[in-house]
Structure 1
Amino acid sequence: MSWVDLARALSIILVVSYHAGVSGIGAFLPSDFSVTGSYWKTANLLLVPLRMPLFFVVSGMLAASALSRPWRAVSRPRVFDLLWAYVLWSVVFGVTAWVRYAPEEPWEYFRSSMRNMVVFASPYWFIAALPVFFLVTRWCRARPILLLTALFLVYLASPFLVSALRELGPEFSKPATGLRRLTEFAVWFAAGYVLSGKIKRFGGRRRPLIAVLATVICIPMCWFAVMADLEPGTERIIKLLATCSSVLAVLSVSVLLGALPTISRLGRVIGSRTLVIYLVHPLVLNVLVVVFRRVYEHGTGPVPLVVELLLLPTIILVCVLISLGFKAVADRLGADWLFQLPWASREKSAGVTPSAAVSRYRLSPE
């Protein structure tokens, strides 16, 4: 299903774009030198209703068959390997990212990073959320409609639960962030599983009219969900509509673009390496932020408009290319322990090469 690879490729590019265009935009295009930095940030914020729900819908869809397999066959690739990668790369981030975030307090930053890791507030929280959602869906798969209904109610209650936790004190800020992520996105993984058959049938045909209509609808819905000052209950409903229409738009467009051989091949390359891109690109961005800060320290004038327009896409491309290069080096060195538990590997006992073992680890592995 080339359209699935393309949808995953688009989603990981959106993730890289968000991290570069929201948290990093102040370093890449600071307001003292740029007039477009705020527009790049707004554009990325408007995609919040789409970005992670799309990831989880596709992940849930591709997990459908694994959810009914014996625990022994799925526990390692679906749970323990991902938790290993989560802990390992969170530690690496905590050890290195102080240069960007806390150059004067590296040890305190590391301790804070480890606390954040425990409560799903790490930059790699998605890797830890997948096993949690997989286990919840697996335990409740016998009653899929009840599961989806329960998680939908949790989704509606999410703003109120998070607000109540934050009111307990500032020390609960990070746990509240983790709670928001778990309560807001679990429903989309379950939806991908429950509707997996329908989604796959939907991808079997080109539907240009639906692609156009969904795109037209999702744009104002995303704007209202993110930019309008709405009450929590209203915000949930608007965000729900924004997510459903934007995910439908991306899946429809992916089916159309997947029919183009060049686009299909590109989607396969990126879509099959989403895990590596997700893990590596934050480290690349940290380096780039530090470099750009030092460049602007000696800046003498505004950035040329053509540079402003091309800078963020170039940074995204650099992050993706370095991540792909990192995977190629890891394959060559047999460093599959970077992405899976390093002992008692079933792949090694079965004679599978490290390259094949690493390459099957995607954000939505089959």
Structure 2
Amino acid sequence: MTERVQWLDGARGVAIVMIVIHHAVILLAPLGLVHPDYVVARDLLATFPMPLFFLVSGVLSRSALTGSWGHLWRYRLAPLLWLYVVWTLVRFAWFSLVPLATRPDETDLVRLLVSPVWPTSGLWYLHALAVVLVVTKLMAGRVPLAVQLVGATLLSAAFFGPLDSGSIGYEGVAHYLLFFLVGAHFGPRLVGAVQGSTRVAPVLAVVAFLGAVVVVRLFVLQWLPIVPVVLSALAVAAGVLVLRHAPRLTSALRLDVLGRLTLVVYVTHFILLSAMTSLLALVVGPFGGAQPHPVLGVVALPVMVAAAVAGSVGIGTLVRRTPLESIYRLPARRASV
């Protein structure tokens, strides 16, 4: 493995852990089992994971986008949509058997039936990425790149602002198309710039991100639609630069390995989190209390996140080269997603 692959995968590893943390907060908060400091940290770091995933997806999709539509379908769209459909059904079946009082929509049959065209579940990223791939392919050679980037920036700001599609999937397309386009069109140059950066670069990037956060909160600028776009760009820059210059940390925490298993963790972790949440609900009640539990509020989240990540990786490893592997791979072709 090259250093370049290591820090790129390490960034994806950090991002997927942040997503698991985000979902753990969502599930534990109604039970009164999340310490307020966790929520503050989650909100501060929320600008990193999804923009990073779309940026990296753009970088990794360059060959698929420059090939034929058939090539794009076989190696990107079909595997993504297979995962989306299979795990939408798995998720519906799971919550039908093990319902969670705080997640009644998970067993909504209408939502299930319209999910192929109207994604509203936590699996939205798979659907949104497929849409973004098609949109980018359609624009290639037809819409000037400058127009694409300006349009995507305005679209992102508009949907971070007053507009609302009603679908988390299409919201994701609007929010993060810009990052995918940047990765698809400038990927090699971005990777080269990060690779060739000096040791002072991550320090400056982190200072710039934290400084921007302070300015936004100090002057109450959260209402400006462009603010999330700018903060996301700064967060991604800071994250990848830090990991580029911390290869030993990346290796020690196995973040680079985890980064190659992000889709396995992404589709699996929520079910594992919900199972643990159901067990905790038996102790504190389905809706907990007004104040966080003094002990569980501190302990539950990190334990659940670690267990969900490790459990997801473990399940993915166990089913490898068995008939159940098809829940993670398109059966007709062992295509990488």
Which TM bucket (shorter chain)? Answer: 0.7 to 0.9
Q: Confirm or deny that 1:199 pairs with 2:190.
A: yes
* Structure with more relative contact order (C-alpha pairs < 8 Å, separation 6 or more): 2
- Which residue of 2 is the match for residue 109 of structure 1? 108
8 Å contact kept, 1:85–1:127 = yes
Deviation at residue 312 of structure 1 after TM alignment:
1.9
TM-score (norm 2): 0.85
For 1:227 and 1:18, the matched residues in 2 are separated by 25
Residue 158 and residue 82 in structure 1: after superposition, are their counterparts in 2 closer, same or farther (change >3 A)? same
1:96 maps to which of 94, 97, 104: 94
Residue 286 and residue 148 in structure 1: after superposition, are their counterparts in 2 closer, same or farther (change >3 A)? same
Residues 232-281 of structure 1 deviation map (CA, whole Å, 9 limit, x = unaligned): 4x2x22222211111100010110122557338x1232011101000000
Amino acid at match of 1:67: L
Residue 229 and residue 97 in structure 1: after superposition, are their counterparts in 2 closer, same or farther (change >3 A)? farther
8 Å contact kept, 2:7–2:250 = no
Residue 223 and residue 286 in structure 1: after superposition, are their counterparts in 2 closer, same or farther (change >3 A)? farther
- Which residue of 2 is the match for residue 131 of structure 1? 130
Q: Confirm or deny that 1:153 pairs with 2:161.
A: no
Amino acid at match of 2:202: A
Deviation at residue 223 of structure 1 after TM alignment:
6.1
Q: Give the secondary-structure state (helix, strand or coil) at the position aligned to 1:26.
A: helix
For 2:217 and 2:26, the matched residues in 1 are separated by 14
- Which residue of 2 is the match for residue 71 of structure 1? 69
Residue 107 and residue 267 in structure 1: after superposition, are their counterparts in 2 closer, same or farther (change >3 A)? closer
- Which residue of 1 is the match for residue 212 of structure 2? 221
Residue 13 and residue 202 in structure 1: after superposition, are their counterparts in 2 closer, same or farther (change >3 A)? same
For 1:224 and 1:186, the matched residues in 2 are separated by 26
For 2:196 and 2:151, the matched residues in 1 are separated by 31
Q: Confirm or deny that 1:21 pairs with 2:9.
A: no
Deviation at residue 114 of structure 1 after TM alignment:
4.0
Residues 283-310 of structure 1 deviation map (CA, whole Å, 9 limit, x = unaligned): 00110111111122499x98565x6544
8 Å contact kept, 1:22–1:44 = no
8 Å contact kept, 1:100–1:286 = no
Q: Give the secondary-structure state (helix, strand or coil) at the position aligned to 1:162.
A: coil
For 2:120 and 2:215, the matched residues in 1 are separated by 26
Residue 346 and residue 104 in structure 1: after superposition, are their counterparts in 2 closer, same or farther (change >3 A)? closer
Deviation at residue 184 of structure 1 after TM alignment:
1.0
Residue 126 and residue 336 in structure 1: after superposition, are their counterparts in 2 closer, same or farther (change >3 A)? same
- Which residue of 2 is the match for residue 277 of structure 1? 265
Residue 105 and residue 23 in structure 1: after superposition, are their counterparts in 2 closer, same or farther (change >3 A)? closer
- Which residue of 2 is the match for residue 180 of structure 1? 171
- Which residue of 1 is the match for residue 78 of structure 2? 80
Q: Confirm or deny that 1:322 pairs with 2:311.
A: yes
Amino acid at match of 1:185: Y
Deviation at residue 313 of structure 1 after TM alignment:
2.0
Amino acid at match of 1:156: A
Deviation at residue 127 of structure 1 after TM alignment:
0.6
For structure 1, the 5+ residue unaligned runs are 166-173, 348-356, 362-366
TM-score (norm 1): 0.79
1:41 maps to which of 25, 39, 45: 39
1:248 maps to which of 231, 237, 241: 237
8 Å contact kept, 1:8–1:274 = yes
Residue 42 and residue 100 in structure 1: after superposition, are their counterparts in 2 closer, same or farther (change >3 A)? farther
- Which residue of 1 is the match for residue 246 of structure 2? 257
For 2:192 and 2:103, the matched residues in 1 are separated by 54
8 Å contact kept, 1:94–1:113 = yes
For 1:199 and 1:227, the matched residues in 2 are separated by 31
Q: Any residues of structure 2 matched to 1:341-352 within 5 Å, and which? A: 341-342=330-331, 345-347=332-334
8 Å contact kept, 2:51–2:176 = yes
Residue 22 and residue 228 in structure 1: after superposition, are their counterparts in 2 closer, same or farther (change >3 A)? farther
Residue 314 and residue 105 in structure 1: after superposition, are their counterparts in 2 closer, same or farther (change >3 A)? closer
